[in-house]
Amino acid sequence: MALKIELHVTNPDHTADVEIKKGELQSLQGHLAKLGSLGRAEDLHLLQGKAEDCFQLFEEASQVVERRQLALSHLAEFLQSHASLSSVLHQLRQTVEATNSMNKNQSDLIEKNLNDAIQDAKALESTAVSLDGILSKAQYHLKSGSSEQRTSCRATVDQLFGELERIQNLLGTKQSEADALAVLKTAFQDQKEELLKSIENIEERTDKERLKEPTRQALQQR
């Protein structure tokens, strides 16, 4: 069965908050400009403090949005790679399961594809560890499928490694069965050759015995 994973991002996006703070900042800057021209220093000082607070919130929200945009971009790439590798493993499992009489060429090809998949999984694991850190900084949390439990990119790669191990075990079983069958075939062939050789020896001895026996005609002439 092919691995399937759906990752849902929790926590709302701060894009709307950023736009609100941006509007407030622009409004305050306009008021500051008007008050400055009117020369109301006490009001100007008060609004300057509020403008600075608003600007700080705007900067923080902007940074969160930037981190989230980066996280979502990396997450999309990760999920694509994950789905691709999952498809490869599904095909490998089907190939191994469908192979009843595995020869050396088939075994070597499957092992090569399996080793390639292992290397891809290791590379994806490294990406997953880094991406989990990026998602955490972006205040994103992942959920797998319909489950309410949180998951991580690393956990999804661990599932791939589990599938790889199961395919390796299945391949080992198939190889053992093929080796056992090859031994039986060799033993059968050896037994067959020995039987044929025994039959040939018996026939040769029989022919020799016949040559030694006097023919009916020779006995009559006596």
Residue by residue, pLDDT tens for the chain (222 residues) are 344 445 555 555 555 555 565 666 666 666 666 665 655 556 667 766 776 776 777 777 778 888 888 888 999 999 999 999 999 999 999 999 888 777 888 888 999 999 999 999 999 999 999 999 999 888 888 887 766 788 899 999 999 999 999 999 999 888 877 766 666 777 777 777 777 787 887 877 777 777 666 555 555 555
Looking at the domain assignment, is residue 141 inside a domain? yes
Looking at the domain assignment, is residue 218 inside a domain? no
Looking at the domain assignment, is residue 220 inside a domain? no
Looking at the domain assignment, is residue 44 inside a domain? yes
For residue 77, what pLDDT is reported?
A: 94
Looking at the domain assignment, is residue 80 inside a domain? yes
For residue 4, what pLDDT is reported?
A: 46
For residue 112, what pLDDT is reported?
A: 93
Domain that includes residue 67, residue range:
7-211
The number of distinct structural domains making up the chain is 1
SS (HEC) of the chain? CCCCCCEEEECCCCHHHHHHHHHHHHHHHHHHHHHHHHCCHHHHHHHHHHHHHHHHHHHHHHHHHHHHHHHHHHHHHHHHHHHHHHHHHHHHHHHHHHCCCCCHHHHHHHHHHHHHHHHHHHHHHHHHHHHHHHHHHCCCEEEECCCCCEECHHHHHHHHHHHHHHHHHHHHHHHHHHHHHHHHHHHHHHHHHHHHHHHHHHHHHHHHHHHHCCCHHHHHHC
Looking at the domain assignment, is residue 41 inside a domain? yes
The CATH number that applies at residue 200 is 1.20.58
